[in-house]
């Protein structure tokens, strides 16, 4: 099945206090973007990376030997993840994939069991418009609300000041979207997507409750709740490195 991976990676590593762009920050000796490419290479034929124009040259040099086709797309203004993902649409359309997978550039802990579950659900009936791996965690950064039938109906963001539960259902920073949903419904949703009241950015995650009111949005459990952790601080970077080493899974790209 043809898939394209979209990686929003325009962050400059400010919160991480990194001396290099976030996606190029070393994790167990390798830039985190290479960990992501190595993990997703068995599943996706093309990768579209959305970058800050100021970091394009450094990113291109880092990826010069990547074994998959990589297209870089500029995001000049940090207006949010929704806008970053929309910028990839032209590159995605050029190869006509069946599915578009999106992964944040810092989700280095995502495991193959989670990705296998996404791929398996894509083939099941009813065919979903999107597949979202989730997990229950303490003090979630985001939380999906569901109706009594289990359908996604809303998403809360801690960084936007929303009221958050002590234990909540969070995403894992990985999302699978059918080509139709990506090229049509996402664009439709974007025409009226609101900006966050605190960040003033256009968030991507509210797209899934919106889509669930119109199509099938499936959720699958992540292989391990630790996979939901991104890397936004030196402490999280240290924790991610420790976990990769402990599970013997510090991915070593062959390029």
- CATH at residue 127: 3.90.550.10
Beta bridge partners of 178: 99
- Structure token digits, residue 235: 């402490």
| 5 phi and psi angles, rounded to 5 deg | -100, 130
With beta carbons less than 8 A apart as the criterion, state whether 108 and 34 touch.
Answer: no
CB atoms inside a 10 Å sphere around CB 56: 15
Q: What range does the domain containing 185 cover?
A: 3-132+171-246
Query: Is 142 among the domain residues?
Result: no
Query: Is 140 among the domain residues?
Result: no
Query: Is 36 among the domain residues?
Result: yes
124-181 pLDDT, tens digit each: 999 999 999 999 999 999 999 999 999 999 999 999 999 999 999 999 999 999 999 9
Query: Is 146 among the domain residues?
Result: no
Query: What domain count does the chain have?
Result: 1
pTM across the whole model: 0.95
Beta bridge partners of 188: none
DSSP 166-217: SEEEEE-SEEEEEHHIIIIIHHHHHTSPPPPTTT-S--STTHHHHHHTTS-E
21-67 pLDDT, tens digit each: 899 999 999 999 999 999 999 999 999 999 999 999 999 999 998 88
Query: Is 188 among the domain residues?
Result: yes
| 199 phi and psi angles, rounded to 5 deg | -80, -25
């Amino acid at each position: 099945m043809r898939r394209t991976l979209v990686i929003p990676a325009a962050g400059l590593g400010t919160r991480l206090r990194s001396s290099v762009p976030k996606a190029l920050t070393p994790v167990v000796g390798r830039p985190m973007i290479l960990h992501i490419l190595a993990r997703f290479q068995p599943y996706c034929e093309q990768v579209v990376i959305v970058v800050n124009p100021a970091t394009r040259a450094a990113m291109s040099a880092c990826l010069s030997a990547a074994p998959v086709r990589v297209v870089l797309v500029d995001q000049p203004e940090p207006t949010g993840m929704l806008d970053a993902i929309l910028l990839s649409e032209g590159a995605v359309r050029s190869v006509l994939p069946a599915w578009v997978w999106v992964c944040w550039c810092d989700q280095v802990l995502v495991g193959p069991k989670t990705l296998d579950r996404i791929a398996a659900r894509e083939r099941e009936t009813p065919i979903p418009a999107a597949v979202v791996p989730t997990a229950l965690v303490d003090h979630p950064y985001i939380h999906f609300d569901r109706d009594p039938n289990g359908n996604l109906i809303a998403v809360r963001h801690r960084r936007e000041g929303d009221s958050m539960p002590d234990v909540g259902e969070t995403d894992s920073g990985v999302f699978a979207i059918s080509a139709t949903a990506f090229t049509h419904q996402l664009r439709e949703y974007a025409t009226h997507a609101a900006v966050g009241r605190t960040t003033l950015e256009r968030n991507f995650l509210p797209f899934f409750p919106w889509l669930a009111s119109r199509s099938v949005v499936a959720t699958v459990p992540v292989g391990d709740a630790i996979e939901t952790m991104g890397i936004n601080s030196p402490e999280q970077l240290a924790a991610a490195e420790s976990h990769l080493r402990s599970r013997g899974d510090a991915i070593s790209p062959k390029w």
